[in-house]
Copies of this chain bind each other. A is one copy, B any other.
Amino acid sequence: MAGDGAPATPAAFYKMLSVPDAVELILSETALLPAEEVPFAAAFQHTLAADVRAAEPVPGFRASIKDGYAVLSTDGPGEYDIAFEAFAGVAPRTLTPGTVAYIGTGGPLPEGADAVVQIEDTEFLGAAPGGPKRVRIKKQAAPGEDVRQVGSDMAAGEVVLQAGQHIGAAEVGILATVGATTVNVHRKPHVAVLSTGDEVCEPDAPKLELGQIRDANRAMLLAAAVGTGARATDLGIARDTAANVEAALDRTIAEGADVLLTTGGVSMGDKDFIKPLLERRGTVYFGKVKMKPGKPLTFAKVAVPERNRSLLVFGLPGNPVSSLVTFHLAVVPCLRKMEGWQEPRLRRVHVRTAMPIKMDPERPEYHRAVAHWARPEGAAEGVSSGELVAASTGGQISSRLLSLRSANVLLEIPQASGVLPAGSRVSALVLGDLGSMPVPEVPAPTVLP
Residues of A within 8 A of B (CB): 1, 4-7, 9, 20, 40-41, 44-45, 56, 59-61, 63, 65, 67, 82, 85-90, 92, 102, 104-108, 119, 124, 126-127, 133, 148, 152-154, 160-161, 165-166, 168-179, 181, 197-199, 203-205, 208-224, 226-227, 267-269, 271, 318-320, 324, 341, 343, 345-350, 364, 373, 384-388, 397, 399-402, 404-407, 412-414, 420, 424-427, 430-440, 442-449
Contact = CB atoms under 8 A, between A and B. Distances in A.
A430 B434 contact: yes
Contacts of A153: 397, 399-402
Given A5-B102, A179-B205, A399-B63, A384 B350 contact: yes
Given A127-B5, A170-B401, A435-B434, A61 B350 contact: no
A118 to B, nearest CB: 9
B209 A173 contact: no
A223 B88 contact: no
- The copy count of this chain in the complex is 2
A348 B444 CA distance: 8
B224 A439 contact: no
Contacts of A152: 400
Contacts of A203: 40, 175-177, 179, 181
A421 to B, nearest CB: 9
Contact of A447 (B106, B400, B414, B440): B414
Most B C-beta atoms less than 10 A away, residue of A1, A171, A172, A226: A172
Given A216-B173, A220-B169, A424 B449 contact: yes
Given A168-B227, A444-B427, A387 B385 contact: yes
Given A269-B105, A435-B433, A89 B426 contact: no
B430 A445 contact: no
Contacts of A214: 176-179
A4 B444 contact: no
A439 to B, nearest CB: 5
18 contacts: A20-B444, A41-B222, A65-B399, A89-B211, A104-B269, A104-B271, A105-B318, A169-B227, A172-B220, A173-B404, A175-B203, A176-B218, A177-B214, A177-B216, A178-B214, A343-B439, A347-B436, A350-B442
Contacts of A9: 119
Contact of A445 (B404, B414, B434, B436): B414
A432 B181 CA distance: 24
Contacts of A444: 20, 348, 412, 427
A432 B435 contact: yes
B364 A212 contact: no
A294 to B, nearest CB: 13
Nearest to A177: B216
B442 A199 contact: no
A318 B107 CA distance: 12
Contacts of A442: 348-350, 427
Contacts of A210: 61, 88, 92, 108
Contact of A59 (B399, B431, B436, B440): B399
Among A267, A433, A447, the most chain B Cβ lie within 10 Å of the Cβ of A447
A177 B220 CA distance: 10
Contacts of A440: 347-349
Contact of A170 (B56, B176, B211, B220): B220
A350 to B, nearest CB: 4
Contacts of A171: 405
A362 to B, nearest CB: 11
Nearest to A341: B436
B226 A133 contact: no
B445 A208 contact: no
A56 B205 CA distance: 12
Contacts of A438: 343
B397 A126 contact: no
Given A169-B227, A433-B434, 16 more contacts: A40-B219, A60-B208, A87-B199, A89-B199, A105-B318, A154-B402, A169-B221, A173-B216, A347-B440, A349-B440, A385-B387, A420-B447, A424-B449, A425-B448, A426-B446, A435-B435
